[in-house]
Amino acid sequence: MGVITDMKRILFVCLGNICRSPLAEGVFNDFITSKGLKNSILCDSCGTAGYHIGSPPDKRSILTASNHGIKLDHQGRKLSVRDFEEYDYIFAMDKNNYEDILALKRKSVGNAKVHLYREFDPKGNGDVPDPYHGTMDDFEEVYEICSRTSKKLLEFIQRG
Ligand code: 4NP
């Protein structure tokens, strides 16, 4: 294997880091693995809040991913100022997350570029709806958004 010189580091961020962002991370990891890019892109996820630090993803996210052949392997953590130094791109699941991320970025010396995740959804932008108080159908909708967003997201990362 050759030396990897341009490893890209990307971080998916939601509020609790148990529903949306671990699913986005798992779906994107699966996508880049299928493209043979697992060694050139590093993915992680975290939350703007610290409610679920150390917790596994919500059972409904785990089940939804599993229904599509994807295993989620993550422990909840909270976004920190260091993340802006350690990641190249940060993708916010919704506008509240986006504002919270930018507020923390102002306290950081890091240069991570912050985007709304659904900028890359071919079916339109806006928020990834929070499924926490919802049903399995709401989790499936998050999966569908993540699945169809992966291609444009990868193209964007590869251009940058
Ligand atoms: P997530 O969903 O931000 O997609 O992980 C939520 C998870 C937990 C809570 C809110 C949203 N909570 O209030 O604990």
Residues 6+ away with beta carbon under 8 Å from 52: 16, 17, 18, 76
Residues recognised as catalytic: 14, 20, 130
Classify domain 8-159 at the CATH class level.
Answer: alpha beta
Answer yes or no: is pLDDT of 2 > 80.
no
What is the pTM for the complete model shown?
Answer: 0.96
How do residues 94-151 score in pLDDT, each as one tens digit?
A: 999 999 999 999 999 999 999 999 999 999 889 999 999 999 999 999 999 999 999 9
Ligand 1 atom closest to Cα of residue 21: 4
Say if ligand 1 is within 6 A of residue 30 CB: no
Q: Where are the domains of the chain?
A: 8-159
Q: Report the half-sphere exposure of 122 (CA within 13 A, side-chain side).
A: 9
